[in-house]
Amino acid sequence: MTRSSEVKLPEEVPAHVAIIMDGNGRWARKRGLPRLAGHRAGVENLRRILEASAEFGIKYLTIYAFSTENWERPAAEVRGLINILEDVIDQELETLHQNGVQLRHLGRLERLGTELQEKVRHAIELTNNNQQLILNVAWNYGGRDEIVHAIQRMIEDGLKPEDVTEERVSEYLYTSKCPDPDLIIRTSGEMRVSNFLIWQGAYSEWYVTPTYWPEFGPDELLKALHEYAQRERRYGRISDPIKTN
């Protein structure tokens, strides 16, 4: 797909976009389909969004695929989501690699089977030098769990209280090699954080759309980028100290 000729990009494109891919279940229900059909449609959409993200010049894309709380869903849905993760690695890894996508994982792998853990590790190693797009996959990820994990590792490493700075904490998070997200998108209209990037998102811009994830296509992503470009990121300061004096 090349859309470049039709696409009008804003002057400033965020380097790091993070997405809470929500609404798969409701998308399926609307069509009288099982929830897993919604998750599969969500993966189809992810393919489109990945392609569009690279084309729009986004450098880092973080996707929330499975939260630490999602284990509380019915066992069949959890199993289905694990199967989808495995299928995506089996079927898409080669293409992702060829397209220069570098895969990283945010979260804990422990609760996945050893074979699947190996597949994830292999995917990360294989794509380690790719630079076209860094794709962080948040799977069995929770922001609170991430902070607990970081504190545990800092204690293990024998850090002294004065060594614990904001920069140091950031280095111990799963996103250590990644800038904070500039823009966080949530589909399906929910206006909550749901334990996503609670440290890194301290000053991210938010974009919430009622569209369900399987229908959130490249055009809507572009709309979000244009809206982001209109925002004024003040970080607690005021916009123009001279004018407002």
Site for ligand IPE in 62-81 (CB under 6 A): 64-67, 70, 81
Is residue 185 involved in binding ligand IPE (CB under 6 A)? no
Three-state SS annotation for 98-154 = HCCEEEEEECCCCCCCHHHHHHHHHHHHHCCCCCCEEEEEEEEECHHHHHHHHHHHH
Q: Output the smallest distance, CB 236 to ligand IPE, in A.
A: 28
Catalytic site includes residue 129: no
Residue 70 interaction partner, one of ligand IPE, Mg ion, none, beta carbon < 5-8 Å per kind:
ligand IPE
Q: Can you state the angle between helices 35-56 and 218-230, rounded to 10 degrees?
A: 60
Residue 122 interaction partner, one of ligand IPE, Mg ion, none, beta carbon < 5-8 Å per kind:
none
Is residue 61 involved in binding ligand IPE (CB under 6 A)? no
Which CB atom, from 33 or from 229, has the smaller least distance to ligand IPE? 33
Is residue 214 involved in binding ligand IPE (CB under 6 A)? no
Site for ligand IPE in 40-59 (CB under 6 A): none
Is residue 12 involved in binding ligand IPE (CB under 6 A)? no
Closest among 211, 220, 214, 210 to 40, alpha carbons compared: 214
10 Å Cβ neighbour count for 41?
19
Is residue 190 involved in binding ligand IPE (CB under 6 A)? yes
Phi, psi values for residue 149, rounded to 5°: -60, -45
Catalytic site includes residue 157: no
Is residue 22 involved in binding Mg ion (CB under 5 A)? yes
Is residue 85 involved in binding ligand IPE (CB under 6 A)? no
> Following CA atoms 93, 113, 63, 155 in sequence, which dihedral angle do they give, to the nearest 10 degrees?
-120
Q: Tell me which amino acid residue 191 is.
A: M
Is residue 212 involved in binding Mg ion (CB under 5 A)? no
Q: Output the smallest distance, CB 73 to ligand IPE, in A.
A: 8
Q: Judged by CB under 6 A, which of 13, 17, 20, 183 binds ligand IPE?
A: 20
Q: Which residues are annotated as catalytic? A: 22, 70
Residues that bind Mg ion (CB under 5 A): 22
Residues that bind ligand IPE (CB under 6 A): 20-26, 64-67, 70, 81, 188, 190, 192, 194
